[in-house]
Amino acid sequence: MPTPLNIGIIGCGFMGRAHSNAYCQVNHFFHSEHRPVLKACCARLEEKDKLEKFANTWGYESMELDWKKLIERSDIDLIDVCVPNVLHHEIVVAAARAGKMVVCEKPLAMNVQQAEEMAAAVDKAGVANMVSFNYRRVPAISLARQIIDEGRIGRPFHYRAVYNQDYTISADVPQGGMALWRLDARVAGSGVTGDLLAHSIDTAEWLNGPIQRIVAHTETFIKERKHAESGKVEPVTIDDACMFLAVFANGSTGTFESTRYARGRKNYNTFEMNGENGSVFFDLEDPHILQYFRYADPSSGKKIEDHLTGWQRIHVTNFEHPYMRHWWVPGCTIGYEHTFINALADFLASLDGGPEFHPTVRDALRTQRVCDAVLESAKKGQWVDIPA
């Protein structure tokens, strides 16, 4: 019989749903010695009705209207943090001190100081933990990592990441409130840097190693917006767009761009990496495809020269592709929600005694360092070094 893993989730919005779905599905597709049990969900008093519906929809056994009470409960093993960024630090530190396992959404924190305290707290408590940089678990992105590890890219020269959306172009979009708290720096910490580029940075460092130095520019196109809570027009203090140049420790160079003003782009999260022996390209709006260009054989370094040389579009749905043997038959695609299920499966496997889980809170501290350096650089107009 699998060991029950009692979940206490905080937040019943977008990520509350995505994580709940993962807890419900994971044991149907992956074998584990652990079985998540939806013990309790929590949101603010103002959202009691919504929370009730959420609890019924997903089958949570109980509800709490104060996250501190949830953490105090002895029947909870794992606290899952699916609330706006400003709350991550206090909840994660309290949960770790109470000896709970922690799952935390990205970006880890509002700034490096908070992130350092969170990493120290989970390390001191020795609790299993995970940060939800779920895109690592898109099978095509995991395949890119495999291709790189196999030496098929060879010496890397360039890394190029873009993460664009378009939902804040209208000046009528308010700041604050459900989902739009992302436009309020007091709640989000930053704009696209923490919200979108944190994903790109996590993926980039996972694929291409640490970023050593960066220089950035940010822009806020709409300077004032009505605040949904105060009803008043207030200054906008987030970055609407951010671009930065990066130098990686392996000597390759990177460009990163993100905006919420790219008309037509909804969740356009792409990267391309170019090396001596080959290249890879990925686009989240075409998520089951990895594009790969093979120039040279990785073992001999011998150039592959024939008239058929060209980019391959790999449909990442075969049994031999990452995660895919757990899903359907070759050719049948999986989607966004499966990235959370794949991540949870790896987390449970680590609890079962399998490979260590990454990214942890400590790994996400690294991403936070890069995000903070980007914002500092944009402010000063200077290159900023990132501590190793």
Q: Which of residues 133-192 bind ligand SOE (CB under 6 A)?
A: 165
CA distance 352 to 363: 21
> In the bound complex, what is the minimum distance in angstroms from residue 46's beta carbon to ligand NAI?
8
> In the bound complex, what is the minimum distance in angstroms from residue 195's beta carbon to ligand SOE?
5
| Residue of the chain from 113, 230, 253, 267 that contacts ligand SOE (CB under 6 A) | 267
> In the bound complex, what is the minimum distance in angstroms from residue 296's beta carbon to ligand SOE?
35
Nearer to ligand SOE, 107 or 156 (CB): 107
Residue 291 and residue 281 in contact, taking contact as beta carbons nearer than 8 Å: yes
> In the bound complex, what is the minimum distance in angstroms from residue 60's beta carbon to ligand SOE?
23
> In the bound complex, what is the minimum distance in angstroms from residue 41's beta carbon to ligand SOE?
20
Does 240 engage in binding with ligand SOE (CB under 6 A)?
A: no
Does 250 engage in binding with ligand SOE (CB under 6 A)?
A: no
| Residue of the chain from 64, 80, 195, 239 that contacts ligand SOE (CB under 6 A) | 195
**Residue 295 CB-density burial (10 A; 0-12 exposed, 13-18 middle, 19+ buried):** middle
User: Which stretches of the chain bind ligand NAI, using CB under 6 A?
Assistant: 10-16, 42-44, 47, 67, 82-85, 87, 105-106, 132, 134, 178-179, 195
Nearer to ligand NAI, 31 or 48 (CB): 48
Check residue 301 and give left, alpha or beta (phi > 0: left; psi -120 to 50: alpha).
Answer: left
Count residues binding ligand SOE (CB under 6 A).
4
Q: Which residue is nearest to ligand SOE (CB)?
A: 195
**Residue 380 CB-density burial (10 A; 0-12 exposed, 13-18 middle, 19+ buried):** exposed
- Number of Cβ within 10 Å of residue 66's Cβ equals 12
> In the bound complex, what is the minimum distance in angstroms from residue 134's beta carbon to ligand NAI?
5
HSE-CB of 11 using CA atoms within 13 angstroms: 23
Residue with token string 């058929």: 308
Nearer to ligand SOE, 20 or 165 (CB): 165
* Encoded amino acid at 159, one letter: Y
Record the tokens describing residue 182, joined without a space: 């992302």
Rg of the chain over CA atoms, in angstroms?
Answer: 21
3-class secondary-structure state, position 108: coil
- Number of Cβ within 10 Å of residue 379's Cβ equals 11
In the complex, which residues of this chain contact ligand SOE (CB under 6 A)? 165, 195, 199, 267
